[in-house]
Structure 1
Amino acid sequence: MPQLLLLQLFIFTYKRLWQSNCRLAVLSCGIGMLLVSTTVRAQNETVRITVRDSLSRTPLVGASVGIPGTSTGGQTNTSGIVMLTLSPPLGVVLTVTALGYRSQQVRLSTTTVTVLLAPAAEQIAEVVVTATRTNSRLEDLPTRVEVLGEEEMREENGIKPGNIASLLGDIAGTQIQPTSPTTGNADLRIQGLQGRYSQILRDGLPLLGGYAGGFGILQIPPLDLRQIELIKGSSSTLYGGGAIAGLVNLVSRTPTLGSPHYSWTVNQSTLRESNVNGFAAARNQQLGYTMYGGFTRQQAVDVDGDGFVDVPRLLNVTVHPRLFWYPTAYSQLVVGYTGTAESRRGGDAQRLREGLAAGSNHEYFVTNLLQRHTADAIYTQDSLGGGSLTLKGTASSFSRRVRTNTVGFDARQLSYFGEANYLRRFGTQHTLVGGLSLSGERLHPDAASYTPLLNSYSYATVGVFAQDDWQVLSSLTMQAGLRLDHHNRYGSFLLPRLALLYKATEHLTFRLNGGAGYRAPVPYVNELDEREYPYVLPLTGQRAERSLGTNGDINWSHSFASGLHLTLNQGFFYTRLNHPSTLGPDSQFPLLLSWRTQVQPVISQGLETYVRMEAAETEVYLGYVFTDARRRYNPVNPHVELAARHKLAAVLVREFSAHWGAGIEASYTGQQYLNNGEQTPGYPLVAALVRYRTGPWTVVLNGENLFDYRQTRREAVVLPPLDNPVFRPLWAPVEGRVINLSVNWRFRAKS
C-alpha cells in the first residue's frame, strides 16, 4: 500500500511537470532510471574471506569483496567475513574495498584468506545531520538533506579559502548569482528563487537577514566548517521565517578529546587575491577550544580593460574563537564570538588608483566598510528526564558604511535569537522534540548621513514548535512538524511540515517532503545597487510573503562485487510563493522606489537528476537540473529573472596514489531571462585541479573558468553616463580565468 501511494504521488507530479514543458527532461530521466539491472551468476566452490583493520585487527563490517569485471562478490558480515562460491578459486584476483580504507587486490592461493586493509589518509566519518534537530544519520532522514562534509571543506579551502560561495553554487538546484559588477556582491539562489528567500544558519542559529545579509556568504571561510547542510524547499517550520526556497546550516568544527588539531593555509591567485587562514583546536576532559583567524587581500582588477574594475579592492579580517566546557559526561556549554571587519572598494579604476587627482572624468566609486560582531552560546544537557535539553542564543551587530560619488549613508542592524528545546525518544518508534523561540531584528539608520536611509524598523517574533520522527514500519519513517510564529507587525503564521521516507528495498528509497514558509518584508535586499538604498520608501501596506512547497526523490544505490558503487537519483520540486513583493518606481514619486505586494503568485518547479559512480580511487558525477520559475503577476515577461532553466554538471576525481590526486569539473548554464523578457545565451565553464599530499603538507594548483568565458566578451556591462553609470544585469562571470596555488599544513596529534 505505501508503494502504491508514493507511486501515485510521483506520477501526479510528473504529469504536472509534463504539462509545464518538461517533456524532454522527464523522458530522459525516466529512461535513465529504467536502464539499471543486475545479474547473479551461480558458481561452485566456497572461499572464506575475512577482512580486518590493519592497525587494530578489528573486523570490518560491510567491506566489499569481488572479482573485477564480474557480478561475483559480496559484503562482509558483522564478523568481517564473506563467503564466495568460485570455480576454480585458486589464482582468482579479488578486489577488497571498505569505506575509509585503501582498496586492495588479492590473488587467491587458498580457500581461507585474511585481508588487512590500511585506513585511508582521512577516515570517512558517519554523516550526522543537525539541521533537522534530531541529530539523525543522513540515510535515516525522511527530509531530503544534502551534505557537504569535511573532505569537501578541505578541498574548497585549497581552491577558494576566502569564502564558501563557489562551493554552495556546486550543489544541484543552487546558483550563485553575482549582483554587482563593481563590488563583487553575490546571492545564493535555491531552485530558481532569489537569495532573500533562503535562510542561512550557523550551528542552528540564524546568521544573516535583512540589511545584515549584505555580502554574507562572501565572508564565511571553509576552513572553519565541519560540514554544510542544505534543505531545499519551504522549511520555516524548522527555524521560523525566511526559509521559503530552503535553508543552509553551516556546522562549525569542534575539538576532539586528546587529539589537538592545527592547520594553516596560504593562497595566491592570478586575480591578485591573497589569503592566509589558520585554525587550531584542542580538548581535555573538561575544557576545549577552537580558534579560527583569517586574512584576505584582493587587489582591484579591471579584467576587460573598460576602465571599471571587475574585481573590487578588498581587505577582510575574520576571527572566530569558541570555548567548550564539559561540566559532566552528559552536558556541554559552548560560547563563541565571530568578528569580521571588511573594506570593499570598486568603481572607476583610475579613481581607485589616484583618488580625487583622477579628475572630473573619473568620478564614480563605491566603498563599503563593514563590521560584523556576533556572540553565541549553546548549552546541552543529554540526561534530563530521559531526554536532551538544548538552550541556545545569539546576538549580532552589523554596521555598514557606504560611500559613492552620489550617495553616502550609515546604518546598523541588531539581531538576536534564542531557543529552548527538549528532545526525547519514546521506545524505538518515536523521537519527539518541542520548544520555544524568540527572535528579532532592529535597523537603525544614521539620520546625519549625507543621504540617510528612509527606513527604520523593529521586528520581534515568538514561536512554539513540535516535531515527531515516527518509525511507522521498519521500512517507513514519517517526520511531522508544526510551528506557530507570531510576528509583532505581520501577525501569526501556522506552519505545518510532513516528510516521508520509504525504503522499498535495501537499494531503493523514496522520499516525499512538503511544508509551508513565510517571510516578513524588509526594505533592503542584497540585489539592490548601493545608490538605490536612500531612495527606498518606508514599507506601507505590505503583506508577508507565504509559500507552500513539496519536493521528493527516488534514490537507487548499489555496491557491486567489482568495487563499483553506483547511485542514481531522480528528484522534483514545486514551490508556490503567494503575495510576492516587488520593488519599482513609486506611483506618486517616480524618482523614489517602493515595495508593493502582488496578487498573483510566483511558481518555481523542476527536476533534478544525478548519477554518481565510485570505484576504488575514482569518482564520477553527472547532474542535470531543469527549473521553470514564473511570475504569474507579469503575463508579458513571466519568467523569473536570471533563473537558469537548464544546468548540467560533470565531475571526475581521481586519486592516483597516496600523494597525487586530480579532478576536472565542467558545467553548462542554460539560457536565463532578463526582466525585460530578453534571453541570455547559455555558457560552459571548466575547472581543474592537481593536488599533492605528503605528510602534513598539501599543495593544490587549481584553475577556474579555464576557457575564460566572460559576459564582457559578449556585451558591455557598464553603460553611460560614466560618472554615474548604469550596469547591465550579470548573467555570467566577469572575472574570467583564475589560477591559484595554495599550500596547507595540518597537524593532528593521535590520542
Structure 2
Amino acid sequence: MQKIIILLCAVLCITRAYAQDNFKITVKDKGNNSPLQGVTILVKGTGIIAKTTENGTASLNNIPAGKQTLIIRNVGYEEQLITLNFPLKQTVPLEILLAASEDELEEVIVSSTRTSRSIQNTPTRVETIELEEIDEKSNMRPANVSMILHESTGISVQQTSATSANASIRIQGLDGRYTQLLKDGYASFGNFASGLSILEIPPLDLSQVEIIKGPSSTLYGAGAIAGVVNFISRTPKEKAEFNFIVNQSNVGQTNIGGFGMQRNKKFGYSLLALANFQKAYDVDDDDFTELPKTKDFTIHPKLFFYPNERTTLVIGNAFTKSDRTGGDIFVVNSNADANHRYFETNNSIRNTSTLDFSYKTNEKDLLKLKTSFNYFKRGIAIPDYRFDGINYNAYTDISYLKNIENQSLIFGANLVYDDFQEQNRAVSLAKNFTTKTAGVYAQQTWDITQKFKLESGMRIDFVNYFNANYSKNEAFILPRISALYKFNDKWSSRIGGGLGYKTPTLFTEQTETFQYQNLLPLNQVKAERSYGGTADVNYKTNIGEDWMISLNQMFFYTRISNSTILLQDAVGNFHFENTSLPVQSKGFETNAKIIFKEYFKLFAGYTFTSAKADYLPVIQNIRLLPQNKLNLALLYEKERNFKMGLEGYFTDRQYLYNNQQTNPFWEFGFMAEKVFGKVSVFVNAENFTDTRQSRYKSVVNGSHLNPTFDDIWTHTEGRTFNAGIKLKL
C-alpha cells in the first residue's frame, strides 16, 4: 500500500511539473478574429520557439521558472511582446490578437485588377513596386520612372535615340507598343507619345507601381498584349504631408520638385510640381551628345471631394512641357558653323484632364465612373526635316463592383477615341490615323475555398480605325482566366492566360529611330492578335526569428499573329504590312528575396527570354533583346535613420539590326541615404564602372554634317554620380 501511495504522489508531481512547463497559446487576426497559421512564438533568451498550427494554436514546453518575455511575430502583422511569470496555471490557451501592420496593408492592396483586393488573395499575378523602393529609385533619377522600370526583373528600358535619349519599355522581350502604360488607370502614354512616355512620368507623387505581365486585354483593351504597368498616385490623408527634393548630378542634370497633400472631412488636395534641367553632355568627346540639353516642367494638381461617407469625386489636370535638343554639341550650345550643323529636337506639350467618381452603394459594392481627355503635341526636327503632330485621346469607363458571398463581380463598359493628326502636311501624305473603340466587359473573382480562388473575365471590343487610305471595322472577343491555389502558408501557385490585340500604329521603336522620315501612311494594315499566359510558384518562410526567405518562379509564353512589320521599298520609303508568320516569346523569371533581422535585404532576379519572329530572315531572334539578364541588390537599412545599397546587373549578348552581336556587360551602382529628422541627404553612383557603348565602338558614324548612328544597346552616358537633399514635413 505504501508503494502505491508513493507512486501516485510521483505521478501527481510529474503531472504538476509538466503543467507548469507546458504553455498553450492561440493567435488570431485582430481584424476578423480568424486563427493565424505559421505565427512564430519565441521565449526571449531561451532558444524556445514554436509555430501555430492551422487552428492558430501552439505549445511551448520546458519554459524556465520566473519572468519570461514572449515574442509573437508574423509577416504583415505588428510584433507583440508579452511578459508572464512562470510557472503559470492555465485552464484555457492564452488568446493573442495580432494587428495587421499599416505598412504591410499599403504594400499588398492592388487596384489594377479592379477588385482592390490584397495581393495575397488575387488570382491574377500582380507584381508591386512599393513606396520604399520608389523613394529609393527617385534618389537615383528624380526626373522620371525609367530607373524604377529598368531595374525590375523581366522589364527593360530600350533607348531609341543616340542623341536625344528617348526611350521605350519592353516586357518579356516584346516591343513597347505591346505594353499598356497607365497612370491611375488612365491610358495617356501610347502611340505618338510612346518614345517620351516614361520620360514624362515623375516618381515623386507615386505610392506604388503595379505590373501585370502577360495578356491583359480583357481588363484594359488594345495594347495590353505583353502586360500592363499602372503608376498609382498617392491620395491625401488627414495629416498633411509635404515632400521636397533638390538633386544635382555630375552629368549636368538638376532636379527641383515638391509634392504636397492633405484632406479633411469634405475636401482634399494634392499637388505635384517638378522642374528638370539637363545640360548637353558629351562623355566621349566625339562632339555628339549622349544626353541632350533639356528643360521640362510638370505640374499636377488634384482636388478631392467627399460629399458623404459613400461618395468621392476626384478632379485632376496634369500638364507637362518638355524641350530636348541633342546632336552636335556645337550646335546645341549655339556655336553652329559650316562644319557643325546636325541637331535633333523634341518639343512636346502634354495635358491630361481627369475626372473620377466613386459611389459606394453599400458597404461592399462600388459604382465607378472614370473619364479623361489627353492632348499631346510633339514636334521633331533634324536638319532639312521636321515632323509635327497632335494626338487627342478621350477615355470613359463606367463599372460596377458587386460583392456577394465569396465572390466579386465587375460589370463595365468603356469608350476610347484616339486621333492623330500630322501638321503641315498634305492630306494625301499625312500620317493621320483615328481609332474608335466601344467595349463591354465582365469579371468574376470567386473564392471557391480558402485555398482555391478563380478569376475569369470576358471583354468584347468593337473597333473602327481609319485614315484617308482605308477604313476597317473589327470585333474582338477576349476571354481571360486566372487561378490561385494556396497549398499551405508557405506554398502557393498562380496560373492564367487570355487573348489580346493591338490596333495598327506607325509609332514603334524602329520608326522612332529615324524620326518617322520617309514613312508612308498606313494602308490596309489590320490589328495584331495574341494569346498567351503565365504560371508561377511562390514560396515564403521564416527561419528562426531572424530570417525571412521568399522565392518565386514564373514561366511565360505569348504568341502574336498577324504581326505588323516595317518594310522599305526600292525608292527608300518605309511602310507597314501584316505577315502571316508569328512572333513568339517564351521564357521564365526567377526572383529571390532574403531578409535578415529586417536590416539586411538581398534581392536576386534572373530572366531568360527567347523571343523570335518567324518573318525575320536567317536570324529570327528579336533585335536588341538579351537572352539572359541578372539583377542583384543588397540593401542595409535602419528605418528612418540610414540606408545604403549595392546593385549589380548582368546583360547578355544582343542581336543588332545588322545581325551583329553585342558584348555582354555588367553594370554596378551604389546608393546611401542618411536621415536627420525631417531632412535626408542622399548620394548615388550609377554605373560607377563606366560601362558605355562607345567603349566598344563609336556610336556615331560618318561626317559631322551627315552622321548615322548605331543601334543603342547599353548606356551611352557612362558613369553618373548625383547627390541631393529631401525634406519631408
With normalisation by structure 1, the TM-score equals 0.86
C-alpha displacement of 1:531: 4.4
C-alpha displacement of 1:406: 2.3
Q: Where does residue 675 of structure 1 map in the other structure?
A: 657
Does the 8 Å contact 2:564/2:578 carry over to 1? yes
Which one of 508, 529, 532 corresponds to residue 525 of structure 1? 508
Structure 2 Cα separation of the partners of residues 132 and 70 of structure 1 = 46
1:94-133 aligned at under 5 Å gives the runs 125-133=106-114
Structure 2 Cα separation of the partners of residues 608 and 536 of structure 1 = 37
Report the 3-state secondary structure (helix = DSSP H, G, I; strand = E; otherwise coil) of the residue aligned with 1:206. coil
Which one of 140, 162, 187 corresponds to residue 121 of structure 2? 140
Structure 2 Cα separation of the partners of residues 384 and 100 of structure 1 = 28
Aligned-residue RMSD, C-alpha: 3.3
Amino acid at match of 1:736: G
Structure 1 Cα separation of the partners of residues 118 and 101 of structure 2 = 22
Which one of 376, 381, 386 corresponds to residue 403 of structure 1? 381
Does the 8 Å contact 1:670/1:682 carry over to 2? yes
C-alpha displacement of 1:46: 4.0
Q: Where does residue 469 of structure 1 map in the other structure?
A: 445
The question of 1:393 aligning with 2:393 is answered no
Amino acid at match of 2:699: V
C-alpha displacement of 1:634: 1.9
The question of 1:282 aligning with 2:258 is answered no
Structure 2 residues without counterparts, runs of 5 or longer:
1-17, 29-34, 89-93, 466-471
Q: Where does residue 551 of structure 2 map in the other structure?
A: 568
Structure 1 Cα separation of the partners of residues 61 and 119 of structure 2 = 34
C-alpha displacement of 1:723: 1.5
Report the 3-state secondary structure (helix = DSSP H, G, I; strand = E; otherwise coil) of the residue aligned with 2:499. strand
Which one of 454, 479, 483 corresponds to residue 496 of structure 1? 479
Q: Where does residue 393 of structure 2 map in the other structure?
A: 415
Structure 1 Cα separation of the partners of residues 450 and 25 of structure 2 = 31
Which one of 422, 433, 436 corresponds to residue 460 of structure 1? 436
* Structure 1 pair 169–70 and aligned structure 2 pair: CA distance change class (3 A): farther
Structure 1 Cα separation of the partners of residues 159 and 66 of structure 2 = 61
The question of 1:550 aligning with 2:533 is answered yes
C-alpha displacement of 1:677: 2.5
Structure 2 Cα separation of the partners of residues 551 and 685 of structure 1 = 29
* Structure 1 pair 74–259 and aligned structure 2 pair: CA distance change class (3 A): farther
The question of 1:695 aligning with 2:677 is answered yes
> 1:250-273 deviations in whole A, cap 9, x for unaligned?
1111001x2111111111111111
The question of 1:178 aligning with 2:154 is answered no
C-alpha displacement of 1:87: 6.0
State which structure, 1 or 2, has the greater radius of gyration over its C-alpha atoms. Answer: 2
Q: Where does residue 155 of structure 1 map in the other structure?
A: 136
Q: Where does residue 325 of structure 1 map in the other structure?
A: 305
Which one of 677, 680, 688 corresponds to residue 706 of structure 1? 688
Structure 2 Cα separation of the partners of residues 465 and 657 of structure 1 = 43
Structure 1 Cα separation of the partners of residues 485 and 105 of structure 2 = 26
Amino acid at match of 2:635: V
Structure 2 Cα separation of the partners of residues 597 and 585 of structure 1 = 14
* Structure 1 pair 381–585 and aligned structure 2 pair: CA distance change class (3 A): same
With normalisation by structure 2, the TM-score equals 0.89
Q: Where does residue 217 of structure 1 map in the other structure?
A: 198
Which shows bigger deviation, 105-114 or 271-280? Answer: 105-114
The question of 1:740 aligning with 2:688 is answered no
* Structure 1 pair 382–657 and aligned structure 2 pair: CA distance change class (3 A): closer
* Structure 1 pair 433–264 and aligned structure 2 pair: CA distance change class (3 A): same
Q: Where does residue 342 of structure 1 map in the other structure?
A: 322
C-alpha displacement of 1:534: 3.5
The question of 1:382 aligning with 2:360 is answered yes
Q: Where does residue 7 of structure 2 map in the other structure?
A: none
The question of 1:261 aligning with 2:241 is answered yes
C-alpha displacement of 1:699: 1.3
Which one of 597, 602, 607 corresponds to residue 620 of structure 1? 602
Structure 2 Cα separation of the partners of residues 117 and 696 of structure 1 = 30
C-alpha displacement of 1:721: 3.4
Amino acid at match of 1:247: V
Amino acid at match of 2:108: V
1:713-728 aligned at under 5 Å gives the runs 713-728=695-710
Which shows bigger deviation, 150-159 or 241-250? Answer: 150-159
Does the 8 Å contact 1:231/1:246 carry over to 2? yes
Report the 3-state secondary structure (helix = DSSP H, G, I; strand = E; otherwise coil) of the residue aligned with 1:326. strand
C-alpha displacement of 1:79: 14
* Structure 1 pair 337–713 and aligned structure 2 pair: CA distance change class (3 A): same
C-alpha displacement of 1:459: 1.1
C-alpha displacement of 1:600: 0.5
Amino acid at match of 2:385: V
Identity percentage over the alignment?
Answer: 34
* Structure 1 pair 339–453 and aligned structure 2 pair: CA distance change class (3 A): farther
Which shows bigger deviation, 106-115 or 66-75? Answer: 106-115
Q: Where does residue 458 of structure 2 map in the other structure?
A: 482
* Structure 1 pair 721–95 and aligned structure 2 pair: CA distance change class (3 A): farther
Query: Greater relative contact order (Cα 8 A, min sep 6): structure 1 or 2?
Result: 1
Which one of 51, 61, 77 corresponds to residue 85 of structure 1? 61
Structure 2 Cα separation of the partners of residues 690 and 115 of structure 1 = 39
Does the 8 Å contact 1:364/1:722 carry over to 2? yes
Which one of 432, 437, 443 corresponds to residue 414 of structure 2? 437
Does the 8 Å contact 1:67/1:561 carry over to 2? no
Amino acid at match of 2:678: P
Q: Where does residue 91 of structure 2 map in the other structure?
A: none
